[in-house]
């Protein structure tokens, strides 16, 4: 901590906070009072790089949805507003995509009537490239005519078996990648990530086989892709709960098929009864009921990869609070606070954190009917931005250098990120409450501004039960399952990120404002 900051924080802050609190109390009358929060960023002290690892990679449920115009519109919005540059979706090889299917020209023929057909896959990839988004080339699932078993997943009945013939599988993968190079160009395909399968450790859920069976698939697929271009990036094991990382790295080193980058997944309510990767945190957090479970597992996996000497990128390309398909708290300000809390704690420990997922256009255990029904998406069926979407927008406004923060009322559930750039400063405050049924409370916040900030612009954004929360407006409409056109237009008009006007009081270098718990608040400071 710099001496200047030390002196200011010890001599002046208490006096200034008391003055600011008195001025603010006359202007705000919270209905339910929470804690007082004091935030002292070390604006002049040592800075740390702050990578925006939550940006860049988006998730769509299944590849088939990206033929839809509305999903493409949602991807365009996420590209423009959330910095999406890549998109991942399982099921590129599903029968729904007609990759290995009947040839209409052979409908009269006896015997084999099949052919390989990349037309639908090409349409999706071309559409994505037109949006400025690269596909993640995901070799899932097994075309039915090539599958060794009968097990399926999702309503599409996607086959989760190993191939009957590994030579045929290798030929399909090599042919598909070579086709992509011929169609879109080697330089374009070289920007993509390649992923082998999805959550093979959830056996008979997404993989009808053993770990050894998956490693055989991994090696075959890896070599099939590298045959086309050895520089193409192939990642795995794409496991749930951070599992099989050591095993894949060791297998790859022994068999000349080492992953170029690591992929794995975590949800904060993942089962703690199954084997888990190394965990970094107190024992009481090593249970899925802990609000710190996901962060502890991410830290533990980072430590494991460092111990193994792994130098490639690390992608948590599925993460969130709950893996339940319908979970209404996911559409609240509590989820927004969970997003910010998690990124505040662990975002610098990997290269990508891709929240699951972007859209409610989704069908794994059924297709939702209601306008809002607790599904995974940051956007609802009509592309309306939910509170956690706004949380990612606020994270995206942060700068590239992070400052140390001290204060009162800060702990593991309520805290702040402070960042700096040559033209701006930001303070992002979060207060996470896992129990979304609890009535929100209003806390008073005082934050030390950088010198001279009060002479320029200071803007506050809040995500709460009332602000930047489209569900409140929908509920005021009577929570209609189906939206009339005029209702949808009204909701869209109310669905942009809006500042809280006149909500900040500044006195003697202290900004005072209120925020809800659970909730998120961003103070944007022009310098």
335-382: pLDDT as tens digits: 999 999 999 999 999 999 999 999 999 999 889 999 999 999 999 999
Q: Which two tokens stand for residue 3?
A: 């001496």
Q: Which of 444, 464, 523, 483 is nearest to 27 (CA)?
A: 444
Higher pLDDT, 276 or 198: 198
- Is 18 a residue whose pLDDT tops 50? no
Strand partners, 159: 142, 152
Mean pLDDT, residues 485-493 taken together? 97
User: Secondary structure of 170-239 in the HEC alphabet?
Assistant: HHHHHHHHHHHHHHHCHHHHCCCEEECCCCCCCECCCECCCHHHHHHHHHHHHHHHHHHCCCCEEEEEEE
Judge whether residue 30 has pLDDT over 70.
no
Buried b (16+ CB within 10 A) or exposed e, 183-215: ebeeeebeebbbbbbbbbbbbeebbbbebebbb
37 phi, psi to nearest 5 deg: -120, 125
CATH 2.60.40.1500 domain position(s) in the chain: 3-50+399-526
Which residue, among 143, 197, 130, has the nearest Cα to 171 in the 3D structure? 143
Q: How confident is the model at residue 107 (pLDDT cuts 50, 70, 90)?
A: confident
* Least confident piece of the model among 85-89, 252-256, 337-341, 436-440: 436-440
444-468: pLDDT as tens digits: 999 999 987 776 789 999 999 999 9
Residues paired with 417 in a beta bridge: 428
pLDDT at 347: 98
Cis peptide before 144 (omega within 30 of 0): no
Spatial CA neighbour of 37 closest among 414, 468, 493 = 414
Residue 38 to residues 16, 401, 512, 514: CA-CA distances in angstroms? Answer: 11, 21, 9, 12
Nearest to 176 by CA among 161, 192, 164, 162: 192
More confident position, 204 or 377: 377
CATH code 3.20.20.80 region(s) in the chain: 64-396
> In whole angstroms, what is the distance from residue 230 CA to residue 315 CA?
20
Q: Which residue has the higher pLDDT, 25 or 115?
A: 115
The CATH class of 64-396 is alpha beta
Domain 3-50+399-526: which topology? Immunoglobulin-like (2.60.40)
**Omega before 353 within 30 of 0, i.e. cis:** no
């Amino acid at each position: 901590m710099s001496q200047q900051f030390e002196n200011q924080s010890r001599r002046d802050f208490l006096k200034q906070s008391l003055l600011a609190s008195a001025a603010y109390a006359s202007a705000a009358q919270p209905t339910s009072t929470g804690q007082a929060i004091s935030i002292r960023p070390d604006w002049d002290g040592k800075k740390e790089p702050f990578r925006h690892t939550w940006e860049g990679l988006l998730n769509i449920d299944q590849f088939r949805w990206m033929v839809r115009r509305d999903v493409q519109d949602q991807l365009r919005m996420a590209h423009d507003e959330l910095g999406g540059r890549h998109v991942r979706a399982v099921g590129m090889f599903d029968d729904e995509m007609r990759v290995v299917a009947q040839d209409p020209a052979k409908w009269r023929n006896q015997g084999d009537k099949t052919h390989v057909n990349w037309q639908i896959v090409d349409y999706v990839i071309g559409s994505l490239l037109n949006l400025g988004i690269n596909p993640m080339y995901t070799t899932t699932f097994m075309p039915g005519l090539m599958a060794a078993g009968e097990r399926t997943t999702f309503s599409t009945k996607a086959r989760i078996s190993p191939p009957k013939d590994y030579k045929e599988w290798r030929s399909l993968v090599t042919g598909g990648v070579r086709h992509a190079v011929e169609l879109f160009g080697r330089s374009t395909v070289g920007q993509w990530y390649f992923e082998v399968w999805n959550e093979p450790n959830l056996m008979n859920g997404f993989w009808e086989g053993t770990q050894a069976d998956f490693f055989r698939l991994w090696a075959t697929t890896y070599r099939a892709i590298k045959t086309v271009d050895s520089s193409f990036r192939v990642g795995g094991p794409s496991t749930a709960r951070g599992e099989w990382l050591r095993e894949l790295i060791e297998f790859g080193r022994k068999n000349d098929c080492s992953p170029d980058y690591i992929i794995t997944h975590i949800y904060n309510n993942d089962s703690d009864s199954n084997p888990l990767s190394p965990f970094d945190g107190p024992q009481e957090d090593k249970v899925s009921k802990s609000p710190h479970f996901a962060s502890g597992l991410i830290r533990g996996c980072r430590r494991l990869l460092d111990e193994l000497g792994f130098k490639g990128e690390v992608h948590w390309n599925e993460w969130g609070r709950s893996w339940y398909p319908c979970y209404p708290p996911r559409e609240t300000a509590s989820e927004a606070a969970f997003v910010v809390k998690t990124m505040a704690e662990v975002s610098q420990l990997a290269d990508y954190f891709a929240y699951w997922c972007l859209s409610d256009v989704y069908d794994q255990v059924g297709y939702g009917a209601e306008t809002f029904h607790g599904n995974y998406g940051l956007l609802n069926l009509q592309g309306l931005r939910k509170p956690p979407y706004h949380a990612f927008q606020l994270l995206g406004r942060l700068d590239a250098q992070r400052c140390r923060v001290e204060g009162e009322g800060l702990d593991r559930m309520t805290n702040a990120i402070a960042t700096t750039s040559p033209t701006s400063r930001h303070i992002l405050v979060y207060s996470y409450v896992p129990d979304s049924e609890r009535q929100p409370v209003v806390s008073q916040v005082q934050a030390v501004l950088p010198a001279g900030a009060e002479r320029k612009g200071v803007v506050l954004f809040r995500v709460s039960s009332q602000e930047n929360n489209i569900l409140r407006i929908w509920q005021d409409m009577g929570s209609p399952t189906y939206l009339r056109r005029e209702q949808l237009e009204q909701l869209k008009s109310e669905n942009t990120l809006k500042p809280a006007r006149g909500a900040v009081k500044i006195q003697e270098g202290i900004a005072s404002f209120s925020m809800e718990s659970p909730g998120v608040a961003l103070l944007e400071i022009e310098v």
